[in-house]
Structure 1
Amino acid sequence: MNIILSNKLCSASINTKGAELNSFKNSQTNTEYIWSGNPDFWGKHSPVLFPIVGALKDDCYFYEGKKYNLSRHGFARDFEFEVIKSSSNAASFLLKQNPEIRAKYPFDFELQMDYKLVDNSLILSYIIRNKSNVQMPFSIGAHPAFALTNSFEDYSLEFEKEENLVTHELENNLFSGETRPVNLDKTNLPLTYSLFEKDALVFKTIQSKKITILENQKPLLRVNFDDFSSLGIWTVQNAPFICIEPWIGFADDSTSNGNLFDKTNIQILKENSSFEASFSIEIL
């Protein structure tokens, strides 16, 4: 089921499966900014990444001596969320622990996704609650794919600050230990498919908290992500989209020991406490 939000400037559609954003439009021009989800390239739009971002070594982890299988980017995108609040311009979605999830992730949690239109922006908020009396490890991430209607090389990304960017190379979805520089023209990164020959660009640390998509040097869309420490940028060869992915957490190293609590940049949520982070997509 899709929940539709709208105001005078923009509209959004969110699917209750995965609480996934599948449309964000300029109401005045009817321009669609979210990727269509064509499965010939990638059949998603903007999945929610929880309770991990990226892949675990051997797609598993160990907790209290037991092995748990957990596929890349976690399970949130695969489950129906309950709509707990809805109005013309805002909606809240909730995923709770259940027996199927418990087999993958034995922590009592709630994941709430809030969507709100404010003027020409869509604000996406993640609220994670640890409902148990033990500490809970987690990561959280966004994966919005933005539609590009012109030639891919007509687009570039404008970073908020001048950066000395280093991407951490992935091999079979895990960090290999290799890195390479990603050079900006001051704050501008021209998009070419060759950037993504070895999978996503992964910046474990980044100073910029705003990324603007430029179309022929004209600002099109901006992603604001003050609450997120890491960033992924990704596309598929010859696909007409670009993903700008604010993350808190990232994939395993190839040398990972399988203990989720030892995972680099894992968040540890104290018992009976909560965590919140937000980012926004702004039409320019």
Structure 2
Amino acid sequence: MNFRRVMMLVNLGNEYLKVIINTKGAEVTSIKNDQNIEYIWQADSKFWGRHAPILFPIVGRLKDDQYEYDGKKYSMGQHGFAREMEFSVTKRTNDAVTMQLKSNASTFEMYPFHFTLTISYLLSGSKLKAEISVTNDGQNEMLFSVGAHPAFNVPLDNLSEKDYSEYYINVFPQRTYKQVPFKAPYIDLNSVSDIDLSKPLQLKHEIFYDDAKVIKTNDKKLICRLGNKNFDHGVEVEANKPEYAGLWSAKNAPFVCLEPWWGVADDINADGILAHKNGIKHLLSEQKYNTNYSIEIF
């Protein structure tokens, strides 16, 4: 596959935040507050060499990294190809930018649909808002999933507290959720259990040794809040009607991901037919799908 490697870093700023977004993948690579504290994981490849990729046109791993559509088999890597591709900047101001990826010869090799994927970022006070829009530019129904994968430093840079276990995650609404277990790299829908998130989830590296904690959500709004019991600094990810949320870190790594997903990885018993994929979305010709999430610093 020949991906374009030209990339540009776009700087956004206001009185509260300085943000850097890479046109490769439309990926947020830095969020610093007015005290110069870096919140975004800085992609140390020793653990995980990404910051906050956009997941499209799939979320997670396909069974055997392939799927079938209209009688033909296609191959695609984990989380799709958008995170590897160059987006064009279509609009930019000091505190906002809009980036687009359109289907092309490279994407057609992996994904036989005509599309426009638009990611718009806007600073609003101490919050970075992200609007995700998918347009079906083709004549046939389009099948896709989309998600976000932001990773945050734990511990936060420039703070004296260096203990991972001092951090916690609160999920709102606070209640018991259905947890979808991994038989890595796939989910196992036959082994769904309950996870009590009515109280904070205290961070320990061991809780991610079996891969991500994935919860099923039917809420209009989901908030995941990363905080520290000894400091006021933290981050909050709010998502509009996500179907799933992933909490993840690499083994013993100093970061945690708070991931809103509008889709999910293949089940261990998936038949490989894209239309049958769990969490897949169907979009008619010329229709547009919109969703959003935000990252708020405190």
Letter in 2 for 1:167: Q
What aligned pairs does 1:42-191 form with structure 2 within 5 A after superposition?
A: 42-149=48-155, 150-176=162-188, 177-184=190-197, 186-191=198-203
On the 8 A contact 1:160/1:187 being kept in 2, the answer is no
**Offset at 1:204?**
2.3
- In the aligned structure 2, how far is the partner of 1:132 from the partner of 1:216? 50
Structure 1 residue 35 corresponds to structure 2 residue 30: no
- In the aligned structure 2, how far is the partner of 1:55 from the partner of 1:41? 19
Match of 1:20 among 19, 22, 27: 27
On the 8 A contact 2:218/2:241 being kept in 1, the answer is no
- In the aligned structure 2, how far is the partner of 1:228 from the partner of 1:179? 18
Q: Which runs of 5+ in 1 are unaligned?
A: none
Q: Which runs of 5+ in 2 are unaligned?
A: 1-7, 156-161
On the 8 A contact 1:234/1:242 being kept in 2, the answer is yes
Q: Given the two structures, how large is their TM-score scaled by the length of structure 1?
A: 0.96
Q: Which deviations, in whole Å up to 9, do the C-alpha atoms of 1:235-257 show, x marking residues without a partner?
A: 01211101000000001111111
Q: Given the two structures, how large is their TM-score scaled by the length of structure 2?
A: 0.91
| Match of residue 225 from structure 1 | 239
- In the aligned structure 2, how far is the partner of 1:11 from the partner of 1:263? 39
- In the aligned structure 1, how far is the partner of 2:174 from the partner of 2:14? 35
**Offset at 1:151?**
1.5
- In the aligned structure 2, how far is the partner of 1:261 from the partner of 1:232? 23
| Match of residue 245 from structure 1 | 259
On the 8 A contact 2:186/2:266 being kept in 1, the answer is yes
- In the aligned structure 1, how far is the partner of 2:218 from the partner of 2:249? 20
On the 8 A contact 2:23/2:89 being kept in 1, the answer is yes
Structure 1 residue 212 corresponds to structure 2 residue 225: yes
**Offset at 1:183?**
3.2
- In the aligned structure 2, how far is the partner of 1:66 from the partner of 1:19? 30
Q: Percent identity?
A: 37
Structure 1 residue 257 corresponds to structure 2 residue 264: no
- In the aligned structure 1, how far is the partner of 2:240 from the partner of 2:111? 28
Aligned-residue RMSD, C-alpha = 1.4
**Offset at 1:21?**
0.4
- Determine helix, strand or coil for the equivalent of 1:271: coil
On the 8 A contact 1:143/1:245 being kept in 2, the answer is yes
- In the aligned structure 1, how far is the partner of 2:291 from the partner of 2:12? 21
Q: Which moved more, 1:45-54 or 1:167-176?
A: 167-176
**Offset at 1:230?**
1.2
Aligned length: 282
On the 8 A contact 1:120/1:282 being kept in 2, the answer is yes
**Offset at 1:32?**
0.8
